[in-house]
């Protein structure tokens, strides 16, 4: 397909379909009108033409129902009897030949072109709320929780307060130590883990949550290792660990022992019941806790199925992880599942 043909085809599509196509490809596509959306898709397709065309043809083949949603399940699909099984390319009417290697499967996902940094409203909301309350940020992975942590740290340090940032893993603490040392300057950042103790007097200390819990225990017993009285902010990254059957108690105790004058910032992509945790914090801490939450994914998920024959195919007919009625299996995935069932019945 030439670029002109692709442009024409895109122009014939309803804008909702263009947004579905842009999801995961064009940063903040939902802000664009149809014309700019098409321009952005064409720009993007300069490098990822095959993936875009394949996803477009999948979307076009979805038949709309009176509700405007794709009609599923596909009533006219042939039954998957043995007679319809085949090992070559899938037949007309069943959909296009699916991507079969990882590059094609992941087409359209990558680093977006550079743009000026503009904080998202939820990031601003979290930072604003932190001035007066504890905050739980519960947003999907890759949304930009680090920005909130970094800005909140800057503000605390500017106000002559110290900051503790914890992560559940030594490896993650090491990575954050390197990242934050680059950002704030090496003299501003220290690290305390089971393996490392560098620059412990720095205003920003990175540590594992267990180490912080132990320091808070010691402080409660009168053994103060940290300048806890100047502590302005404790950031608990990956705080979904509070639900961990074995380690969760460490997060609970850290929160319970957190000095009253310090703000708590809990970051997570996957707390199931963040409002319950916020209510609990409000009930035990001197300040209330504000929940910042959204479910929009900046980094799309794609579900794939690796068949024992080594073929990687999309699991669903739609691009990304579908919700509700769009969750029909991709025809090729259906065929492979059915073939697998047949093979296992035969081998019994």
Ligand X SMILES: Nc1ncnc2c1ncn2[C@@H]1O[C@H](COP(=O)(O)OP(=O)(O)OP(=O)(O)O)[C@@H](O)[C@H]1O
Question: At 39, is the secondary structure helix, strand, or coil?
Answer: helix
Stretch that binds ligand X, among 29-37, 112-120, 214-222, 226-234 (CB under 6 A): 112-120
Residue 143 binds which of ligand X, Mg ion, none (CB < 5-8 A, kind-dependent): ligand X
Which residues are 190's β-sheet partners? 205
Q: Give the integer Cα–Cα distance in Å for 127 and 48.
A: 37
Stretch that binds ligand X, among 141-149, 175-183, 201-209, 323-331 (CB under 6 A): 141-149
Strands of 70-172 (E only): list them: 134-138, 162-167
Is residue 120 involved in binding ligand X (CB under 6 A)? yes
Is residue 141 involved in binding ligand X (CB under 6 A)? yes
Is residue 146 involved in binding ligand X (CB under 6 A)? yes
Is residue 300 involved in binding ligand X (CB under 6 A)? no
Which positions from 14 through 73 interact with Mg ion, judged by CB under 5 A? none
Is residue 119 involved in binding ligand X (CB under 6 A)? yes
Stretch that binds Mg ion, among 75-83, 145-153, 183-191, 321-329 (CB under 5 A): 145-153
Q: For residue 195, what are its two tokens?
A: 């393996």
Cβ proximity to ligand X: between 120 and 218 the closer is: 120
CA 208 distance to own-chain centroid: 22
Q: Identify whether the C-beta of residue 134 lies closer than 8 Å to the C-beta of residue 290.
A: yes
Is residue 263 involved in binding ligand X (CB under 6 A)? no
Cβ proximity to ligand X: between 108 and 331 the closer is: 108
Which bin fits 183, alpha (ψ -120 to 50), beta or left (φ > 0)?
alpha
Closest separation in Å from C-beta 207 to Mg ion: 16
Where along the sequence are the contacts to ligand X (CB under 6 A)?
Answer: 117-120, 123, 141-147, 269
Where along the sequence are the contacts to Mg ion (CB under 5 A)?
Answer: 145
């Amino acid at each position: 397909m030439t670029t002109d043909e692709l442009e024409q085809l895109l122009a014939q599509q309803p804008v909702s379909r263009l947004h579905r196509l842009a999801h995961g490809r064009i940063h903040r596509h939902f802000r664009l009108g149809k014309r700019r959306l098409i321009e952005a898709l064409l720009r993007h397709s300069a490098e990822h033409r095959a993936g875009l065309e394949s996803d477009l043809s999948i979307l076009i083949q979805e038949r709309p129902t009176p509700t405007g949603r794709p009609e599923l399940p596909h009533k006219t699909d042939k039954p998957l009897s043995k007679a319809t099984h085949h090992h070559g390319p899938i037949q007309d009417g069943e959909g296009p030949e699916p991507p079969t290697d990882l590059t094609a499967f992941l087409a359209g996902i990558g680093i977006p072109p550079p743009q000026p940094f503009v904080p998202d409203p939820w990031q601003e909301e979290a930072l604003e709320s932190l001035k007066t309350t504890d905050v739980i940020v519960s947003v999907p992975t890759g949304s930009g929780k680090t920005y909130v942590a970094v800005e909140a740290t800057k503000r605390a340090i500017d106000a002559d307060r110290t900051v503790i940032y914890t992560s559940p893993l030594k490896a993650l603490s090491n990575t954050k130590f390197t990242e934050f040392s680059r950002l704030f300057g090496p003299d501003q950042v220290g690290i305390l883990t089971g393996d490392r103790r560098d620059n412990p007097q720095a205003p920003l200390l990175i540590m594992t949550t267990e180490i912080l819990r132990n320091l808070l225990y010691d402080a409660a017993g009168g053994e103060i290792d940290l300048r806890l009285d100047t502590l302005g902010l404790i950031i608990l990254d990956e705080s979904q660990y509070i639900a961990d059957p074995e380690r969760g108690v460490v997060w609970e105790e850290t929160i319970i022992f957190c000095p009253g004058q310090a703000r708590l910032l809990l970051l997570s992509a996957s707390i199931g019941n963040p409002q319950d945790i916020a209510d609990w914090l409000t009930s035990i801490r001197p300040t209330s806790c504000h929940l910042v939450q959204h479910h929009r994914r900046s980094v799309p998920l794609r579900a794939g199925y690796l068949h024992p024959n080594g073929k990687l195919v999309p699991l669903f007919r739609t691009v990304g992880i579908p919700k509700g009625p769009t969750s029909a299996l991709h025809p090729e995935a259906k065929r492979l599942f059915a073939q697998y069932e047949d093979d296992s019945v035969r081998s019994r």
